[in-house]
Amino acid sequence: MTRPDLAALSVGDVIGQRTVTFDRAALVRYAGASGDLNPIHWNDRFAQEAGLPGVIAHGMLTMGTVVGLVTEWAGDPGAVVDYQTRFTKPVEVPNPGVATIDVTATIGAVDAEAGTARVDLAVTVDGAKVLGRAQAQVRL
Q: Output helix, strand, coil percentages for the chain, rounded to the nearest 5.
A: 30, 40, 30
pLDDT tens per residue, range 54-113: 999 999 999 999 999 999 999 999 999 999 999 999 999 999 999 999 999 999 999 999
Spatial contact of 55 and 41, defined as CB atoms under 8 Å apart: yes
Give the span between the Cα atoms of 123 and 67, in whole angstroms: 10
Domains, in order of start, for the chain: 6-139 (3.10.129.10)
pLDDT tens per residue, range 10-48: 999 999 999 999 999 999 999 999 999 999 999 999 999
**Residues 111-124, mean pLDDT to the nearest whole number:** 98
Given strand 14-22, what is the order of strands in its sheet?
14-22, 99-111, 116-125, 128-139, 80-87
Average pLDDT, whole number, for the chain?
Answer: 97
Tell whether the model's pLDDT for residue 115 goes beyond 90. yes
Give the span between the Cα atoms of 26 and 64, in whole angstroms: 13
What pLDDT does residue 3 have?
A: 86
Tell whether the model's pLDDT for residue 1 goes beyond 80. no
Tell whether the model's pLDDT for residue 2 goes beyond 90. no
